[in-house]
């Protein structure tokens, strides 16, 4: 059992470069904010996607609002072997496509219930990742497939206290799935490299609250704040190992999705030009270790220290009303990694990132409009060692988003 515990501990590094925000956090809740690098998300009221980032802003809408968005993530995540244990070809560690492309969808609906109360509903994601190595990858015991998928269903209500101040609260139901597959890789053992040594699958549903505040300083300046609580998730599912002849057993892994807080400001500088900014904090220090139980009766499979640190994301953006129908957007952001140099791995090649974004909105008619956005994300090169292997990783990406908005 000691051998399988070691492999599970090595495999359950749940964080990857292809989420393209701090650790496995996602920023892509809409396409309208994408063009500003998501600056001002807690203070600007573009559309119904305010449900995700600050429900208090719903009180600014006089009509029912519907928004449907999709953001394509096109990663460029490469890994190069810098050193390998004796007997393993170092070039076999190189891989220029460890993160597959993905689409992040979202949908929202808001409606005024009365002069002071507004309601909203949303389906989106705050966390997710995917890395996928070839089955015969040389360092298969620390590589393989790592995937987390989450869906956040939100119901929110907002109340206008005065013409200048509103608050909102939302209930979040978070469904999460995880899959981790590891292979034997190149070893002295008389087994093919693609022999499966770990296969873990599980899912769970957790719950969280978020609270938003909005203050209208004057007709040209607005501030917003949103706080989202932690979400406890226990991935309950199955564990198996073909290499050890172990058929399916029950298994579970506990993680805590961190709390998130965002402060934003939005200012209309003149009739055409707007300025927006955000500081977003994520409480990654709650993600201090991974624990697993395997079999019936359950016994501890492993306990692995992660020791993440709280992180910040800073963004500033602008929009410009070119004419009656077209609004242009641009923004930059700095995304701080919570992962220390000592805890980097193939599945955690996380790094600080810079965002360079642009986009716009086109008004089709008085009821409908569309948003387009593009972000170019550049990550810092990282060098690290794991289980006797030495690596250099680099993670970049392009995000392309589109969104349709309708009011009625």
Beta bridge partners of 131: 146
What are the residues whose beta carbons fall under 8 Å from the beta carbon of 293, sequence distance 6 or more? 251, 252, 299, 300, 301
The architecture (CATH level 2) of 5-407 comes to: Beta Barrel (2.40)
Encode pLDDT of 22-71 as tens digits. 557 888 899 999 999 999 999 999 999 999 999 999 999 999 999 999 99
Statement: residue 358 has pLDDT above 70: yes
By three-state DSSP, how is residue 288 classified?
Answer: coil
Cβ neighbours, 10 Å, residue 47 = 27
CB 31 within 8 A of CB 69: yes
- Tell me which DSSP letter residue 25 carries: B
CA atoms 137, 141, 143, 144: torsion sign: positive
What's the pTM value of the predicted model, to 2 decimals? 0.87
Encode pLDDT of 306-324 as tens digits. 678 899 999 999 999 999 9
Question: How many Å apart are CA 231 and CA 15, to the nearest integer?
Answer: 17
Tokens 């707007």 belong to residue: 274
Encode pLDDT of 170-196 as tens digits. 999 999 998 888 888 887 777 788 888
CA 33 to chain centre: 15
CA atoms 148, 331, 371, 270: torsion sign: positive
CA distances in angstroms from 153 to 172, 201, 326, listed in the order given: 6, 22, 32
């Amino acid at each position: 059992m000691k051998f399988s515990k070691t492999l599970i501990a090595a495999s359950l590094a749940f964080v990857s470069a292809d989420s393209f925000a701090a650790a496995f956090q996602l920023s892509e809740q809409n396409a309208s904010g994408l063009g500003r690098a998501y600056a001002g998300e807690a203070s600007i009221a573009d559309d119904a996607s305010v449900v995700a980032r600050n429900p208090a802003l719903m009180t600014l809408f006089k009509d029912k609002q519907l928004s449907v968005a999709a953001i394509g993530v096109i990663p460029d995540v490469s890994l190069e072997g810098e050193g390998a244990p004796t007997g393993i070809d170092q070039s076999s560690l190189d891989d220029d496509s460890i993160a597959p492309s993905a689409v992040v969808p979202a949908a929202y609906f808001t409606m005024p219930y009365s002069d002071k109360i507004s309601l909203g509903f949303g389906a989106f994601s705050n966390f997710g990742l995917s890395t996928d190595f070839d089955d015969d990858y040389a360092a298969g015991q620390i590589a393989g497939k790592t995937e987390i998928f989450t869906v956040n269903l939100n119901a929110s209500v907002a109340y206008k206290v005065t013409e200048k101040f509103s608050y909102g609260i939302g209930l979040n139901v978070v469904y999460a799935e995880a899959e981790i597959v590891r292979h034997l890789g190149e070893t002295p053992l008389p087994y093919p490299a693609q022999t499966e040594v770990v296969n873990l699958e599980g899912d769970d549903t957790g719950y969280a609250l978020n609270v938003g505040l909005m203050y209208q300083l004057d007709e040209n300046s607005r501030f917003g704040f949103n706080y989202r609580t932690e979400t406890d998730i226990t991935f309950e599912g199955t564990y198996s190992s073909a290499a050890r002849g172990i058929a399916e057993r029950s298994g579970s892994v506990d993680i805590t999705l961190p709390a998130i807080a965002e402060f934003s400001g939005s200012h209309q500088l003149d009739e055409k030009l707007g300025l927006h900014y955000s500081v977003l904090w994520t409480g990654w220090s709650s993600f201090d270790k991974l624990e697993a139980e395997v079999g019936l009766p359950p016994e501890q499979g492993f306990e692995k220290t992660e020791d993440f640190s709280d992180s910040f994301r800073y963004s500033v953006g602008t929009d410009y009303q070119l004419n009656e129908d077209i609004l242009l957007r641009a923004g930059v952001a700095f995304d701080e990694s919570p992962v220390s140099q000592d805890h980097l791995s193939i599945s955690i090649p996380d790094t600080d990132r810079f965002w360079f974004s642009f986009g716009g909105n086109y008004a089709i008619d008085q009821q409908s409009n569309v948003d387009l956005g593009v972000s170019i994300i550049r990550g810092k090169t990282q060098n690290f060692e794991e289980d006797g292997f030495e690596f250099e990783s680099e993670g970049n990406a392009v995000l392309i988003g589109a969104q349709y908005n309708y009011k009625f």
